[in-house]
Every structure is written in C-alpha cells, then in structure tokens.
C-alpha cells in the first residue's frame, strides 16, 4: 500500500545539481504535511519522510 502517494509522485532534483549526476537529493513536493526525500542516484532506494515544518527549518538554515 502506498500510504503517501509516492508511486505517482513527481520527483524534483535541485537546480544546483551538476550535469554529471553528482551527490544530489530529490524531493517530491505536493504531499500534505511531509516532504519525501531520496538519493537521486538510487531512485528505487529508501525514502525519508520529513515533516514539512522540519524541512522548512532545514532549508532556512542552508540558505
């Protein structure tokens, strides 16, 4: 069962990623309350489910 709708998710890679497929993450925006995060080099691997509020704090800290 795909409780969070990730099977139909549209994954987005950072615009800061280089064209050589370096170390990147992808997120799947648009899922209520969470931000799914995965390794772009391993799209069938594990997915971290991060609360949207925690993701906002992380992004603010990185900026």
2-18 pLDDT, tens per residue? 666 788 889 998 777 76
DSSP state letters, 1-60: --TT-GGG---EE-TT--TT--S-EEE-TT-TTEEEEEETT-TTS--EEEEHHHHHHHHH
Q: Report long-range pairs for 26-34 (Cβ below 8 Å, ≥24 apart).
A: 31/4, 31/5, 31/6, 34/4
Q: Does residue 1 fall inside a structural domain?
A: no
| Ramachandran angles phi, psi of 26, nearest 5° | -125, 150
**What's the CA gap between 11 and 8, in Å, rounded?**
9
pLDDT in tens, 23-50: 788 999 888 999 999 998 888 899 999 9
Give the number of domains in the chain: 1
**Full residue range of the structural domain in which residue 23 is found:** 6-62
pLDDT value, residue 4: 66
């Amino acid at each position: 069962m795909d409780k969070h709708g990730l099977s139909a998710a549209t994954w987005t890679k950072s615009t800061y990623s280089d064209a050589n497929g370096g170390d990147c993450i992808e997120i799947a925006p648009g899922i209520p309350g969470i931000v799914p995060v995965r390794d772009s080099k391993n799209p069938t691997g594990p997915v971290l489910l991060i609360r949207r509020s925690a993701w906002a704090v992380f992004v603010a800290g990185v900026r």
